[in-house]
């Protein structure tokens, strides 16, 4: 996840849909006598080191590491966690944080101002291709003042910097356990978050227990949580119905969501929670490829793609068509791709190619990941292939890799066209534009669009009232439409399925839809 700012709008309230008459996810919270709460997800970490992760690994990090600021339940702006922070100048360039007293890491080491400085210096020094250093573009230096005061000096005004500090990418690490200039190896974590990582089996499970040294904002409603990692949605739902897990988080496939909505014997004792979300899926065109580099080819693809068909045929209307990189629900959202291209039209696409002197079917190779965005991804790309080839304008080859090697490939610029998903770091339109532009970005495909990077984004970051930057974001989105380097496809919804004795699912998602597992508990009565 690349980051910058999100608008200060709240992720829409989650609505509970009960599959059990008279039940809801709200209930009295009970003890942990039945053992740890078991969460299922198809999104496994790619690393355990925050300096190397800007992806779904953050879902684990949020619960075992600590950040200076975070999002308590219901908050849409960063709140104190390890520290209380504020800008202390009038230009949003000096940001001071005062740490809580008596902080320590899970191994007993002191968490002081020097440890905070070490954490941020380390992120920048390692500068991992898949890491969060890109989020710190406005950071000039970090100063430790005594034991508890940290001063962030910014090289330019950045009203979004508090949002950056609240992302799991800025997780605090113990200096003696995390090398200054290299990614930490191994299957352990030394953090200061609500839980300790007791056991970790890559691709299988993470066992979390309470961190007795923790001092922060999280109000833990359970004593232990186990996160199980599944390869596909069907396997995860089978485990839920068999009571091998208590609740699902990421990765429910459309067919499984539809099946869970039905009242049937196999769904007896289950509940489904549906919530609005701002995660998006999109295609990236790599200018290193001779065909993807042609504007006419990109615009012809944009003219053919049928988003409504993707949403309905593949995702059973569990997602919505998206016509801008900024999702609906955020201040500044537009529908630029629909406004410019209208409904899918192969004849208009042919005219675009003809005007550019491009004849004959254009060969395109589309890449996707097999194990990051859910079981429907393969079906989605088959449908895209079908749509493009049905126009008679393209010959499409599909290729795929597991996420860990897929990331390496797109960071090296190996893929002509590839699919990505984006879960926001925080809810602001900036966070759906800044990560994808500039010489260095989250996609490994340089996109030096100067009007966005040198004018619109810097100007918007001077404005603390995000409602005042709508015009800047609208202009930025139109540039993205004109270039068609990034092609938005759909905006997701958040679905969680749970056994009837689990409470807290409706409270457990922060504005980035990252699960705060400390909100989960078992009910004691009905």
Matching residue, tokens 């360039």: 93
Comparison of pLDDT for 492 and 398, the residue scoring more: 398
pLDDT tens, position by position, 430-480: 999 999 999 888 898 999 999 999 999 999 998 878 888 999 999 999 999
Lowest mean pLDDT among 18-22, 308-312, 335-339: 18-22
The pLDDT score that the predictor gives to residue 524 is: 64
Buried b (16+ CB within 10 A) or exposed e, 485-498: bbbbbbbbbbbbbb
Question: For residues 10 and 513, what is the distance between their CA atoms, to the nearest angstrom?
Answer: 11
Average pLDDT over residues 211-217: 96
Candidates 331, 352, 454; CA nearest to 394 is 352
**Over the chain, what is the mean pLDDT?**
90
Q: Over 60: is that where the pLDDT of 415 sits?
A: yes
Reduced to 3 states (helix: H, G, I; strand: E, B; else coil), residue 465 is coil
Q: How far is CA 439 from CA 54, 84, 148, 442, 447, in A?
A: 17, 34, 36, 10, 6
Within 132-181, residue ranges assigned H as helices are: 161-165
Report the predicted TM-score, pTM, of the whole model to 2 decimal places: 0.79
Is 526 within 8 Å of 511 (Cβ atoms)?
no
Please enumerate in sequence order all residues whose Cβ is within 8 A of that of 36, keeping only pairs 6 or more positions apart, or say none.
Answer: 207, 208, 209, 222, 223, 224, 225, 226
pLDDT tens, position by position, 181-210: 999 999 999 999 999 999 999 999 999 999
Reduced to 3 states (helix: H, G, I; strand: E, B; else coil), residue 355 is helix
pLDDT tens, position by position, 1-37: 333 222 223 333 333 333 333 333 434 444 445 789 9
Bridge partner residues of 23 (DSSP)? none
Is 51 within 8 Å of 183 (Cβ atoms)?
yes
**The two three-digit tokens of residue 338, written as one number:** 């629909």
Radius of gyration of the chain (CA): 23
CB atoms < 10 A from the CB of 90, how many? 8
Question: For residues 425 and 431, what is the distance between their CA atoms, to the nearest angstrom?
Answer: 7
Matching residue, tokens 């059990």: 20
Comparison of pLDDT for 104 and 131, the residue scoring more: 104
Question: For residues 381 and 282, what is the distance between their CA atoms, to the nearest angstrom?
Answer: 11
Phi and psi based region of residue 380 (left: phi greater than 0; alpha: psi -120 to 50; beta: remaining)? alpha
What confidence category does residue 523 fall into, taking pLDDT thresholds of 50, 70 and 90? confident
CB atoms < 10 A from the CB of 432, how many? 32
Within 342-456, residue ranges assigned H as helices are: 346-355, 377-390, 403-411, 450
Length in residues, the chain: 526
Question: For residues 95 and 86, what is the distance between their CA atoms, to the nearest angstrom?
Answer: 6
The pLDDT score that the predictor gives to residue 418 is: 98
Q: Over 60: is that where the pLDDT of 383 sits?
A: yes
Candidates 435, 468, 436; CA nearest to 332 is 468
Chain centre to alpha carbon of residue 214:
25
CB atoms < 10 A from the CB of 483, how many? 16
Residue 233 DSSP class: H
Question: For residues 215 and 9, what is the distance between their CA atoms, to the nearest angstrom?
Answer: 28
């Amino acid at each position: 996840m690349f980051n910058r700012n999100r608008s200060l709008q709240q992720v829409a309230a989650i609505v509970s849909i009960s599959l059990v008459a008279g039940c809801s996810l709200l209930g009295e919270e009970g003890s942990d006598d039945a053992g740890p709460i078991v969460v299922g997800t198809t999104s496994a970490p790619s690393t355990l080191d925050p300096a190397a992760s800007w992806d779904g690994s953050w879902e684990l990090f949020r619960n075992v590491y600590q950040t200076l600021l975070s999002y308590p339940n219901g908050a849409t702006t960063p709140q104190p966690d390890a520290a209380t922070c504020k800008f202390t100048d009038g230009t949003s360039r000096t940001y001071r944080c005062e740490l809580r007293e008596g902080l320590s890491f899970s191994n007993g080491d002191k968490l002081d101002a020097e440890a905070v400085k070490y954490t941020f210096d380390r992120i920048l020094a390692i500068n991992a291709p898949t890491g969060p250093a890109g989020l710190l573009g406005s950071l000039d230096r970090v100063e430790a003042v005594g034991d508890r005061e940290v001063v962030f000096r910014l090289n330019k005004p950045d009203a979004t910097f508090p949002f950056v500090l609240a992302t799991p990418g800025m997780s605090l690490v113990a200096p003696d356990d995390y090398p200054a200039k290299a990614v930490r190896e191994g299957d352990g974590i030394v953090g200061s978050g609500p839980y300790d990582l007791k056991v970790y089996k890559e691709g299988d499970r993470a066992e979390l227990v309470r961190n007795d040294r923790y001092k922060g904002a999280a109000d833990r409603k359970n004593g232990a949580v186990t996160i199980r990692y599944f390869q596909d949605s069907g396997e995860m739902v089978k485990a839920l119905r068999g009571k091998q897990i208590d609740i699902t988080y990421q990765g429910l496939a459309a067919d499984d969501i539809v099946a869970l909505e039905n009242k049937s014997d196999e769904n007896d004792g289950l509940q489904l929670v549906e919530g609005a979300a701002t995660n998006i899926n999109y295609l990236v065109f790599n200018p290193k490829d001779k065909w993807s580099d042609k504007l006419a080819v990109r615009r012809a693809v944009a003219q053919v793609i049928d988003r409504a068909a993707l949403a309905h045929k593949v995702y059973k209307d569990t997602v919505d068509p998206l016509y801008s990189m900024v999702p609906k629900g955020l201040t500044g959202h537009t529908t630029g791709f629909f406004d410019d291209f209208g409904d899918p039209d192969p004849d208009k696409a042919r005219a675009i190619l003809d005007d550019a002197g491009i004849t004959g079917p254009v060969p395109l190779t589309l890449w996707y990941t097999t194990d990051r965005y859910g079981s429907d991804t393969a079906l989605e790309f088959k449908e895209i292939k079908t749509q493009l080839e049905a126009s008679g304008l393209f010959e499409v080859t599909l290729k795929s890799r597991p996420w860990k090697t897929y990331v390496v490939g797109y960071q090296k610029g190996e893929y002509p066209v590839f699919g990505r998903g984006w879960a926001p770091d925080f809810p602001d339109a900036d966070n759906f534009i800044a990560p994808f532009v500039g010489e260095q970005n989250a996609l490994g495909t340089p996109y030096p669009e100067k009007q966005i990077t040198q004018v619109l984004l810097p100007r918007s970051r001077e404005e603390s009232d995000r409602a005042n930057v709508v015009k800047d974001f609208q202009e930025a989105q139109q540039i993205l439409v004109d270039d068609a380097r990034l092609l938005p496809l759909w905006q997701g919804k958040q679905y969680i399925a749970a056994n009837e004795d689990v409470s807290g699912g409706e409270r457990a998602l922060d504005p980035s839809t990252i699960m705060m597992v400390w909100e989960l508990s078992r009910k004691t009565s009905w």
